[in-house]
């Protein structure tokens, strides 16, 4: 096998391993975070319920209802169960509003929902949740891809110096 083929395999394999966590993050952003953001901005209870239901369904379908988003750190910021419970509570608060509720009550519950879903940085979610439950795999693949790219660099330098 040619040394260029080996170099290419290592290089593209390393890039693929780096791309997996990025893909997971984009997928989570599209299928969950965008709906949580939309629910926080919705002007009516019904629209907020619809958007929040879509986000909750994604979380339930992908088993993002308990556990910790970090493999080694088990704190409140990485507690997926706590975050999921807050979202479910916010959803039940929306159900508690009756059709004949005053504008002030509706406005207050929508503001409370916004405070639950957003902070200054954007949507409130455990850091690293997009990679859950593959944190170990992503850490391992990150290390492997780093080693692979370093190997590609060293191998490329050796090839170029031989010419």
Cα–Cα distance for residue pair 158/56, rounded to 1 Å: 52
Contact indicator for 72, 110 with CB cutoff of 8 Å? no
Mean of pLDDT values over 41-62: 95
Tens-place pLDDT, residues 116-163: 999 988 999 998 888 777 777 777 777 777 787 787 788 778 877 877
Cα–Cα distance for residue pair 137/157, rounded to 1 Å: 30
Residue 118's H or E segment, with its range, is strand 118-119
Higher pLDDT, 17 or 54: 54
Q: pLDDT-derived band of residue 27, with 50, 70 and 90 as boundaries?
A: very high
58: closest CA among 20, 30, 23, 100? Answer: 30
Q: pLDDT averaged over the chain?
A: 86
What is the pLDDT at residue 1? 59
DSSP result, 1-35: --HHHHHHHHHHHHHHHHHHHHHHHHHHIIIIIHH
Q: pTM of the entire structure?
A: 0.78
Highest mean pLDDT pick, 21-25, 68-72, 119-123: 119-123
Tens-place pLDDT, residues 71-100: 777 788 889 999 999 999 999 999 998 888
Higher pLDDT, 14 or 60: 60
Reply yes or no on whether the pLDDT at 42 is more than 80. Answer: yes
Please identify which residue in the block is written with the tokens 């004949």. 100
């Amino acid at each position: 096998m040619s040394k260029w083929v080996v170099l290419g395999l290592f290089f593209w394999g390393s890039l693929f391993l780096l791309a997996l966590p990025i893909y997971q993050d984009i997928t989570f952003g599209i299928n969950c975070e965008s709906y949580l953001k939309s629910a926080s901005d919705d002007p009516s209870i019904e629209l907020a319920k619809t958007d929040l239901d879509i986000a909750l369904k994604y979380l339930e379908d992908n088993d993002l209802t308990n556990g910790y988003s970090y493999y080694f750190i088990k704190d409140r910021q990485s507690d997926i169960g706590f975050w999921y419970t807050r979202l479910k509570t916010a959803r039940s608060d929306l159900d508690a509003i009756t059709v004949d509720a005053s504008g002030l009550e509706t406005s207050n519950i929508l503001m409370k929902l916004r405070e639950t879903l957003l902070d200054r940085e954007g949507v409130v979610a455990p850091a690293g949740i997009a990679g859950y439950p593959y944190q170990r795999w992503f850490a391992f693949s990150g290390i492997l891809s780093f080693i692979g790219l370093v190997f590609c660099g060293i191998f490329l330098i050796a090839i170029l110096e031989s010419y």
